[in-house]
A and B are shown apart, each in its own frame.
Chain A
Amino acid sequence: MAMIELTDVHKSFGTNHVIRGFSTTVSAGEVVCIVGPSGSGKSTILRCINGLESYDAGTITVEGLKVDRAAASITAVRTRVSMVFQRFNLFPHRTALENVVEGPIFVKREPRAEALERGRALLARVGLAEKETAHPHALSGGQQQRVAIARALAMQPKAILFDEPTSALDPELVGEVLSVMRSLADEGMTMVVVTHEMGFAREVADRVLFLDGGVIVEEGRAQDVLSNPQHPRTQDFLRRVLHPL
């Protein structure tokens, strides 16, 4: 079943035409990784899916609901599709637990006790049960990103968008975040991940899209695209990412 559907999406920033006809369908339970050089429009397409960015042409739907950031229905879209950001974007004035329960209590109006109980369980799930009263500034980057994942999960979303979730982390902290993401994938969460972690994409993704110049240059099963790329631009990109020297 189509969870997220994008049809011929176009987006320009001024005269810069960054997305030039992007179409794909993400099924329930599917893990899709979007890879490609910087400036190829990866993050932009992700941000269009939950309406953080508007798009100029084409359609995006989430469970059949049209994504229109100017419409009231955008709240319904955003409670179905959560997002994890490159720079975590935790609320610095609230503790880890408060960050996690903010959406359930104030957006979804869940009873406080219930939300807190689930929030604690989610922090435990990302391995941070003992950090519930810590403020973000007291946490490492990897811990902050795991709180951010718990915050996304707390909305009980149908899908989660990850925008380069490990790019701002020190190398030794990348693993703890990727392993949480892998466990989500194993449990059947629908995920769209913009990433430079080719190892993760190869192991976890059902499908990989290679984006360049605002269009999908190549797509297919992760093993195929990443191990045996057909298009010269994909081959060139992967060579440079995997063997930077």
Chain B
Amino acid sequence: MEAFLKQSAEFLPILMQGLRLTVIVTVGSLALSTALGLVWALMRVSGVPLLAGTAKAVVNVIRGIPIIVQLFYIYFVLPDFGISLTALQAAIIGLGVAYSAYQSENFRAGIEAIEKGQVEAAQSIGMGWWLTMRRVILPQAFKIVLPPYGNIMIMMLKDSSQASTITVAELALQGKLIASSTFQNTTVFTLVAALYLCMSMPLIFLVSRLERRFGQK
């Protein structure tokens, strides 16, 4: 136990650097996936066949390719087309795009759960499509979407470790590097797991609170 504490004191500062990158990747790709997911969802419900079809195709393509392959594509293939990104940028964009598909399905379900009468009431006072979305549909869909959104956040936090495959030294990779140079596998990976739990447990708690609050109408 004493050895564990001593090693922890030694490894934690390095792991914290990894944790910092994990948070940056998670927050960055969360923001990107939210924005993109909202765009796909709004295209899907726009009533314009071309937009709806495009969004549907994009979402299906994204869903059909493993995240790791998308990361490889952005990091290793795009430079061939003259687009060079740092590993961190590629990780944020790759995870953001990959997760935008799940975000969009969640947003769409929330939007479509709103009663048709709400749209008609908005139209009957002269609201156009965008005003109806902004003032009537989205504020109501927000509550429906929130609990699943929390779950997606937790999944993204964990999947940010996939950024390690394109050399982003986030928490998981940082742990692996320490472990392979010190052979203290037990200590290192226990710390890594504990650090992930420290971040995900509050989110899990938050989601269950949201579900209790918004679950029954």
Residues of A bordering B, CB below 8 Å: 50-52, 75, 78-79, 82-83, 85, 87, 89-93, 102-103, 106-108, 151-152, 155
Q: What 10 pairs between A and B have smallest CB-CB spacing?
A: A103-B125, A89-B121, A89-B117, A83-B124, A78-B126, A107-B126, A79-B126, A75-B126, A93-B139, A52-B120
Q: Which residue from A82, A106, A108 sits with its C-beta under 8 Å from B124?
A: A82
Given contacts A85-B120, A102-B135, A106-B135, contact A92 B140 (CB under 8 A): yes
List of A residues within 8 angstroms of B123 by Cβ? 51-52, 78
**CA separation between A83 and B117, bound complex, in Å?**
12
List of A residues within 8 angstroms of B122 by Cβ? 91
List of A residues within 8 angstroms of B127 by Cβ? 103, 106-107
| B2 → A minimal CB distance (Å) | 57
**CA separation between A124 and B130, bound complex, in Å?**
31
**CA separation between A151 and B128, bound complex, in Å?**
17
Q: Which residue from B124, B135, B139 sits with its C-beta under 8 Å from A52?
A: B124
Ordered by A's residue number, 23 sampled pairs between the chains whose C-beta atoms are within 8 Å are A52-B120, A52-B123, A75-B126, A75-B128, A78-B125, A79-B126, A82-B125, A83-B124, A85-B117, A85-B121, A87-B117, A89-B117, A89-B120, A89-B121, A91-B122, A91-B136, A93-B139, A93-B140, A106-B131, A151-B125, A152-B124, A152-B125, A155-B125
Residues of B bordering A, CB below 8 Å: 115, 117-118, 120-128, 131, 135-136, 139-140
**CA separation between A20 and B123, bound complex, in Å?**
26
Q: Which residue of B lies closest to A108 (CB)?
A: B126
List of B residues within 8 angstroms of A106 by Cβ? 127, 131, 135
**CA separation between A85 and B116, bound complex, in Å?**
12
List of A residues within 8 angstroms of B125 by Cβ? 78-79, 82, 102-103, 107, 151-152, 155
List of B residues within 8 angstroms of A51 by Cβ? 123
| A213 → B minimal CB distance (Å) | 25
Q: How many residue pairs at the A-B interface have CB separations less than 8 Å?
A: 54
**CA separation between A125 and B131, bound complex, in Å?**
28
List of B residues within 8 angstroms of A89 by Cβ? 115, 117-118, 120-121
**CA separation between A61 and B135, bound complex, in Å?**
29
**CA separation between A101 and B126, bound complex, in Å?**
13
Q: Which residue of A lies closest to B135 (CB)?
A: A106
Q: Do residues A90 and B131 form an inter-chain contact, with CB atoms below 8 A?
A: no
**CA separation between A151 and B122, bound complex, in Å?**
11
Q: Which residue of B lies closest to A91 (CB)?
A: B136
List of B residues within 8 angstroms of A108 by Cβ? 126
**CA separation between A91 and B128, bound complex, in Å?**
16
**CA separation between A159 and B192, bound complex, in Å?**
68
**CA separation between A77 and B115, bound complex, in Å?**
24
**CA separation between A100 and B124, bound complex, in Å?**
13
| Other contacts beyond A85-B117, A103-B127: 6, CB < 8 A | A79-B126, A82-B124, A89-B115, A89-B117, A91-B140, A106-B127
List of A residues within 8 angstroms of B115 by Cβ? 89
List of B residues within 8 angstroms of A92 by Cβ? 140
**CA separation between A85 and B123, bound complex, in Å?**
12
| B147 → A minimal CB distance (Å) | 17
Q: Which residue of B lies closest to A75 (CB)?
A: B126
Q: Which residue of A lies closest to B116 (CB)?
A: A89
**CA separation between A65 and B88, bound complex, in Å?**
58
| A4 → B minimal CB distance (Å) | 15
**CA separation between A75 and B129, bound complex, in Å?**
11
List of A residues within 8 angstroms of B121 by Cβ? 85, 89-91
Q: Which residue of B lies closest to A148 (CB)?
A: B121
Q: Which residue of B lies closest to A79 (CB)?
A: B126
List of A residues within 8 angstroms of B128 by Cβ? 75
List of A residues within 8 angstroms of B139 by Cβ? 93
**CA separation between A152 and B131, bound complex, in Å?**
18
List of A residues within 8 angstroms of B131 by Cβ? 106-107
List of B residues within 8 angstroms of A152 by Cβ? 124-125
